[in-house]
Amino acid sequence: MAELAHIPDPRLDRRVAAIDARLDLFEEIARLREERDAILLAHYYQESEIQDLADVVGDSLALAQAAAKVQKPVIAFAGVHFMAETAKILSPDSTVVVPDMRAGCSLADGCPADQFAAFVAKYPDHYVISYVNSSAEVKALSDVICTSSNAAKIVQALPREQKILFAPDRYLARWVMKQSGRDDIVFWPGTCIVHEIFSAQEIAKLATEHPAAEIIAHPECDDPVLSQAAFVGSTSALIEHVVTSDCREFIVATEPGVIHQMEKRAPGKLLIPAPAQGNCACNECPHMRLNTLEKLYLCLRDLEPALEVSPELRARALKPIERMLAFSAGDTGALLRD
Ligand code: 13P
Ligand code: SF4
């Protein structure tokens, strides 16, 4: 899927503009969810109102696990394209609708399947681990899928002599190498436009202004940010850390959508969003933020746009995703089993 976030969608704009302004969208979404017998899945980077409406709000792993379990005719997925696509692969009989089909991801968009196939072909004896932030076509070229919460565990579970290719996030790859003590992993050089923009310098400055604050970061950040962090983890691990830590102040180096759950679950703690370079607001994911309450209402009302994955592609992409789910459920042997 090409980079679509900045391409206008006049038809969607017209549908949004035509929504009756007197409607209470919270009530309408709740009503439609009942009527459609739908489940609403939302990622932590969604705006607070969407998170509050969701049946399940989680990180990529939790959302994939929820999609695998779901037995509902409709899944409304408030996240980005690769997440909804994964849900469709795991739950093919459900209609999977998304608020805005343009919500992509720089990591997935920066790793086209044809180029990735050529890259993989150069390393025929490597085990291919692809981050869930990738297209179904790239997943289909992989041995196993990972998320930020299980990437290091998957690498550590493989035999030391097993050569590994990791895609598409170079910073996550480097972090995984550090965690696993392996410096020989071949990786695709992609980046997340949100996490690579955090300024290590500004974060260090902020830390001197808040000496009691702990820096916490997502592993999609670059090394100069990660090396300052007292804790690195997936979105749910970051939230859990804020809740359980004795520390009262945190500088949070990930998309600021997570702060909503942190505030709810750890009231009274000071949560400071990490600054981006030039102090722009570019630490908000432009893809995730395409989703709004209005568009969520429309996708439930009209059951469009709906995700489709061909049966042939689904069959190829399903296996590496299932390996990850089995591994995360405790079946370590799943990684190397056919
Ligand atoms: P998590 O799996 O940690 O929620 O990350 C998803 C993502 O897109 C991070 O940028
Ligand atoms: Fe992709 Fe980065 Fe947005 Fe996550 S924050 S969806 S990795 S662009």
Please, what are the domains in the chain? Answer: 2-104+287-307 (3.40.50.10800), 107-192+313-336 (3.40.50.10800), 195-279 (3.40.50.10800)
CB of 198 closer than 8 Å to CB of 229: no
pLDDT tens by residue, 199-251: 999 999 999 999 999 999 999 999 999 999 999 999 999 999 999 999 999 99
d(CA 82, CA 110): 13
Point out the ligand nearest to the CA of residue 196: 2
* 220 to 71, 125, 153, 158, 174: CA distances (angstroms): 32, 26, 16, 22, 9
Dihedral over alpha carbons 69, 75, 76, 77 (to 10 degrees): 40
Q: Which of 107, 194, 235 to mutate to test the pocket of ligand 1 (most atoms within 8 A of CB)?
A: 235
For the cut 60, the answer to whether the pLDDT of residue 187 exceeds it is: yes
Whole-number Å distance, alpha carbon 338 to ligand 2 midpoint, is 31
Q: β-pairing, 144-146 with 164-167?
A: unpaired
pLDDT interval class at 6 (50, 70, 90): confident
pLDDT tens by residue, 123-164: 999 999 999 999 999 999 999 999 999 999 999 999 999 999
Whole-number Å distance, alpha carbon 186 to ligand 2 midpoint, is 22
For the cut 80, the answer to whether the pLDDT of residue 41 exceeds it is: yes
Q: Which of 138, 254, 287, 291 to mutate to test the pocket of ligand 2 (most atoms within 8 A of CB)?
A: 287
From 37, 30, 43, 99, select the one nearest 74 (Cα to Cα).
37
Find the range with the poorest average confidence among 10-14, 199-203, 279-283.
279-283
Tell whether ligand 1 has an atom less than 6 A from the beta carbon of residue 59: yes
Tell whether ligand 1 has an atom less than 6 A from the beta carbon of residue 169: no
Q: Could you give the 3-state DSSP secondary structure of residue 189?
A: coil
Complete DSSP assignment for 101-142: TT---HHHHTS-HHHHHHHHHT-TTSEEEEESSS-HHHHHT-
pLDDT tens by residue, 252-270: 999 999 999 999 999 999 9
Tell whether ligand 1 has an atom less than 6 A from the beta carbon of residue 134: no
Whole-number Å distance, alpha carbon 24 to ligand 1 midpoint, is 30
Whole-number Å distance, alpha carbon 126 to ligand 2 midpoint, is 26
Q: Which atom of ligand 2 is nearest to the CA of 286?
A: 3
CB of 95 closer than 8 Å to CB of 303: yes
Q: Which atom of ligand 1 is nearest to the CA of 44?
A: 4
Tell whether ligand 1 has an atom less than 6 A from the beta carbon of residue 46: no
Which H helix or E strand runs over 170? helix 170-180
Whole-number Å distance, alpha carbon 19 to ligand 1 midpoint, is 31
pLDDT value for 3: 66
Q: What percent of the chain has pLDDT over 70?
A: 98
Tell whether ligand 2 has an atom less than 6 A from the beta carbon of residue 285: yes
Tell whether ligand 1 has an atom less than 6 A from the beta carbon of residue 235: yes
* 250 to 47, 333, 337: CA distances (angstroms): 20, 38, 42
